[in-house]
C-alpha cells in the first residue's frame, strides 16, 4: 500500500513536471528545424559557466566549454590512452620526477608564444594557492623546473601515479603568464586568452557565451566559425529551442520528451553513459541525526533507486553502490549494478537507533542542473516519508546551490552528481579522506583514510587498485555518501550534425561536424 502511494506521487510529479515552467511543450506552430550548413554551432546547456578561472571551479559543464579555449599538456583518450596535446612527449624519470617537451610554435590568442615558463606559472599557481578550488588536485606538485623554452620537469612531493591523469583534465589548461602578470587577473577574466581552437568573443552572463574560430590555431583548422553556448535552465524551453532550430545540441532532454523529439523531422536524441554518479551526501558528525550509522543505513534501504531509474528516468541510468564505476582505475565492479531496498528493515533500523516515530531532516538539491534532479529529490522525500522520516526539501537554482556547496553550508543531506574527469579512483574518493571531509560529511574512518592515502602514492598499479577496492567496500557500509545511480546523458541533436556524446561530458566542438 505504501509503495502504491509513492508510485502515485511519482505519476503526480511527472504530471506537474510536464506542466511546470510556464513554457509550452507543444510543437504546434513551431518553425521547421535548422537544416542549413551554417558554420555557427549552438549548444544549449542547463547552466551557464561558472568562471574563466580554470583553477577556481570544479564544474564539468564549465570545463566542457573551456576545452575549446584552453589546451592541456596531454589528453586522456578512453581507448588510445594518453595522447600529446601541448606536450609532444614525456617521460617518468623516477617516482617523483617527470620530464616533458613542449610542442614548438604554439601561440596564445593574443599572439604570445607558449613556453615552459607558462607551464610553470600555471601549475605552480594551482599547486600553491590553497584558496583555489582545484588546489587539492594539484598540491601534489612540489615544483616545475624550466629546463629550456620548450623543456621542463614536474617534481612531485611524493610518488604520484596519477600525475598524467591530473594533467589531462580540469585545472591544467595552460595560461599565458605574461598577459596575466601584465594586465592582471580581472582583465584576464573579462578577456580570457588560451591556446585553443576557439577564442573569446562575448559573454552575456546567464544567457550565452560566444567564441570564434582561432585562425592561428596550431592544430587542424577549427571546423566552425562561431560557437554559441546558451544557458537554458528550463527543460521545456531547451527542448522547444531544439525543435525549432534555435540550437543544434541540447543537453538533458527529459525522458518524457524523447519520443516527441524523435518523431520530429530533422532532430533526434541519443542516450549515452557518463561518468556522473548521483548521490546523497550525509553529515556523519555526532551532532547530526545522520551521524548514527543505523540512520544512514535506514535512509539507504528506504530509497528504491531502481524504481527511480525505471520510472522517472525511463532507464537512463544504472544503479550502483560505488562512485568508482567501470572504466575507471580502481573500480570495484562488485558494487556496480547493485542496490539495496528494504523499507521494512529501514523501519527496524530507525527503531533500533531510537527513532521509532521517525524524525525530521533537511535535504538540499539543485533544480535544473541534472536530469530530473528536482523530481528525484521529491521522490526520495516521498520514499523516506514511508519509513517515518519527514524531509524538508530545499530545492534551489544551480548558482545558489554551488555557492553553498563551496561554503559547505548544507544541513543533514544534499543531492549532487559527481563526474570523474581523471578516470581514476583518487578523484572519486578524494572527498572522503579525513582532511577533505571536514565540514562536509565529517567522515572519519581511519582505515579508509589510510587506504586512500596509501593508494594515492602507490606506484604498484595492482596493489593500488586493491587498496581502492577495499576502501569502496567499507564506504558502501559506512554510507557517508549513498550512491544512487550512474546517470546516462540524453542529448538532443539536429540531424545536420554528426555528433557522439563523450563519456566525460565534454563538448569538443571540432569533434562535431556537419553531415
In 225-358 the beta strands, taken as DSSP E runs, fall at: 226-231, 249-250, 267-282, 317-319
Tell me: do 185 and 290 sit in the same domain. Answer: no
Tell me: do 167 and 312 sit in the same domain. Answer: no
Q: Which of 157, 190, 223 is the last residue of a domain?
A: 190
Render pLDDT for 458-478 as a digit per residue (tens, 0 to 9): 999 999 999 999 999 999 999
Instruction: Write down the pLDDT at residue 54.
Output: 95
Tell me: do 407 and 296 sit in the same domain. Answer: yes
Mean pLDDT of the chain, nearest integer: 92
Half-sphere exposure of 474 (CA within 13 A, CB side): 19
Confidence of residue 20 (pLDDT cuts 50, 70, 90): very low
| Residue 57 lies inside a defined structural domain of this protein | yes
Tell me: do 298 and 175 sit in the same domain. Answer: no
CATH number of the domain where residue 363 is located: 3.10.105.10
Taking residues 219-223, what's their average pLDDT? 96
Tell me: do 350 and 454 sit in the same domain. Answer: yes
Distance CA(215)–CA(348), nearest Å, equals 66
Taking residues 105-119, what's their average pLDDT? 98
Render pLDDT for 365-387 as a digit per residue (tens, 0 to 9): 998 888 889 999 999 999 999 99
Domain count, the chain: 2
Tell me: do 185 and 281 sit in the same domain. Answer: no
Q: Give the structural domain span for 63.
A: 40-190
CATH number of the domain where residue 93 is located: 3.90.76.10
Instruction: Write down the pLDDT at residue 47.
Output: 87
Instruction: Write down the pLDDT at residue 59.
Output: 87
Tell me: do 61 and 159 sit in the same domain. Answer: yes
Instruction: Write down the pLDDT at residue 19.
Output: 40
Look-up of cell digits 563523450? 502
Tell me: do 183 and 288 sit in the same domain. Answer: no
Whether the per-residue pLDDT at 163 is higher than 90: the answer is yes
Tell me: do 56 and 171 sit in the same domain. Answer: yes
Q: Which of 190, 207, 222 is the last residue of a domain?
A: 190
Render pLDDT for 47-90 as a digit per residue (tens, 0 to 9): 899 999 999 998 889 999 999 999 999 999 878 889 999 999 99
Q: Which of 139, 162, 190 is the last residue of a domain?
A: 190
| Residue 280 lies inside a defined structural domain of this protein | yes
| Residue 233 lies inside a defined structural domain of this protein | no
Taking residues 240-260, what's their average pLDDT? 94
Contact between 406 and 414 under an 8 Å Cβ cutoff? The reply is: no
| Residue 431 lies inside a defined structural domain of this protein | yes
Instruction: Write down the pLDDT at residue 17.
Output: 44
Tell me: do 167 and 296 sit in the same domain. Answer: no
Tell me: do 178 and 295 sit in the same domain. Answer: no
Distance CA(487)–CA(500), nearest Å, equals 17
Instruction: Write down the pLDDT at residue 1.
Output: 43
Tell me: do 433 and 288 sit in the same domain. Answer: yes
Instruction: Write down the pLDDT at residue 35.
Output: 59
Render pLDDT for 172-217 as a digit per residue (tens, 0 to 9): 999 999 999 999 999 999 999 999 999 999 999 999 999 999 999 9
Instruction: Write down the pLDDT at residue 23.
Output: 36
DSSP 325: -
| Residue 23 lies inside a defined structural domain of this protein | no
| Residue 341 lies inside a defined structural domain of this protein | yes
pTM over 0.85: no
Give the torsion through C-alpha atoms of 312, 314, 317, 318, to 10 deg. Answer: 100
Q: Tally Cβ neighbours within 10 Å of residue 388.
A: 17
| Residue 50 lies inside a defined structural domain of this protein | yes
| Residue 109 lies inside a defined structural domain of this protein | yes
Amino acid at each position: 500500500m505504501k509503495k502504491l502511494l509513492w508510485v502515485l506521487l511519482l505519476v503526480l510529479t511527472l504530471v506537474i513536471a510536464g506542466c511546470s515552467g510556464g513554457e509550452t511543450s507543444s510543437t504546434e506552430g513551431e518553425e521547421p528545424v535548422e537544416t542549413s550548413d551554417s558554420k555557427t554551432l549552438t549548444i544549449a546547456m542547463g547552466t551557464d559557466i561558472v568562471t574563466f578561472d580554470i583553477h577556481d571551479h570544479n564544474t564539468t559543464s564549465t570545463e566542457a566549454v573551456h576545452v575549446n579555449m584552453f589546451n592541456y599538456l596531454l589528453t586522456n583518450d578512453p581507448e588510445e590512452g594518453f595522447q600529446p596535446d601541448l606536450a609532444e612527449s614525456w617521460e617518468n624519470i623516477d617516482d617523483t620526477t617527470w620530464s616533458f617537451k613542449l610542442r614548438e610554435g604554439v601561440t596564445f590568442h593574443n599572439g604570445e608564444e607558449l613556453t615552459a615558463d607558462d607551464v610553470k606559472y600555471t601549475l605552480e599557481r594551482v599547486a600553491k594557492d590553497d584558496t583555489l578550488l582545484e588546489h587539492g588536485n594539484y598540491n601534489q606538485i612540489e615544483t616545475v623546473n624550466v629546463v629550456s623554452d620548450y623543456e621542463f620537469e614536474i617534481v612531485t612531493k611524493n610518488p604520484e601515479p596519477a600525475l598524467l591523469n591530473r594533467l589531462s583534465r580540469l585545472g591544467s589548461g595552460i595560461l599565458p603568464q605574461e598577459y596575466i602578470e601584465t594586465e592582471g587577473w580581472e582583465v584576464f577574466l573579462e578577456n580570457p586568452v588560451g591556446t585553443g581552437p576557439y577564442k573569446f568573443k562575448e559573454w552575456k552572463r546567464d544567457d550565452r557565451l560566444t567564441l570564434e574560430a582561432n585562425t592561428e590555431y596550431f592544430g587542424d583548422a577549427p571546423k566552425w566559425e562561431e560557437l554559441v553556448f546558451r544557458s537554458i535552465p528550463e527543460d521545456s524551453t531547451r527542448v522547444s529551442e531544439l525543435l525549432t532550430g534555435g540550437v543544434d545540441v541540447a543537453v538533458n532532454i527529459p525522458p518524457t520528451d524523447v519520443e516527441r523529439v524523435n518523431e520530429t523531422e530533422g532532430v533526434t536524441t541519443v542516450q549515452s553513459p557518463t561518468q556522473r554518479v548521483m548521490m546523497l551526501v550525509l553529515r556523519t558528525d555526532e551532532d547530526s541525526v545522520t551521524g548514527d550509522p543505523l540512520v544512514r543505513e535506514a535512509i539507504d534501504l528506504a530509497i528504491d533507486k531502481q524504481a527511480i531509474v525505471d520510472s522517472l528516468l525511463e532507464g537512463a541510468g544504472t544503479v550502483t553502490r560505488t562512485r568508482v564505476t567501470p572504466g575507471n582505475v580502481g573500480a570495484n565492479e562488485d558494487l556496480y549494478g547493485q542496490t539495496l531496498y528494504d523499507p521494512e528493515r529501514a523501519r527496524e533500523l530507525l527503531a533500533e537507533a531510537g527513532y521509532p516515530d521517525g524524525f525530521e531532516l533537511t535535504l538540499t538539491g539543485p533544480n535544473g542542473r541534472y536530469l530530473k534532479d528536482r523530481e528525484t529529490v521529491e521522490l526520495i522525500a516521498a520514499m523516506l516519508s514511508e519509513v517515518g522520516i519527514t524531509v524538508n526539501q530545499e530545492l534551489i537554482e544551480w548558482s545558489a546551490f554551488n555557492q553553498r556547496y563551496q561554503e559547505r553550508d548544507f544541513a543533514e543531506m544534499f543531492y549532487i552528481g559527481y563526474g570523474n574527469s581523471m578516470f581514476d579512483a583518487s578523484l572519486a574518493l578524494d572527498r572522503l579522506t579525513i582532511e577533505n571531509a571536514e565540514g562536509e560529511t565529517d567522515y572519519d574512518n581511519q582505515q579508509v583514510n589510510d587506504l586512500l592515502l596509501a593508494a594515492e602514492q602507490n606506484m604498484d598499479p595492482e596493489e593500488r587498485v586493491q587498496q581502492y577496492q577495499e576502501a569502496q567496500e567499507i564506504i558502501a557500509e559506512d554510507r557517508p555518501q549513498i550512491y544512487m545511480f550512474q546517470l546516462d546523458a540524453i542529448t538532443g541533436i539536429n540531424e545536420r550534425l554528426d555528433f557522439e556524446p563523450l563519456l566525460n561530458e565534454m563538448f569538443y566542438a571540432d569533434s562535431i561536424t556537419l553531415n
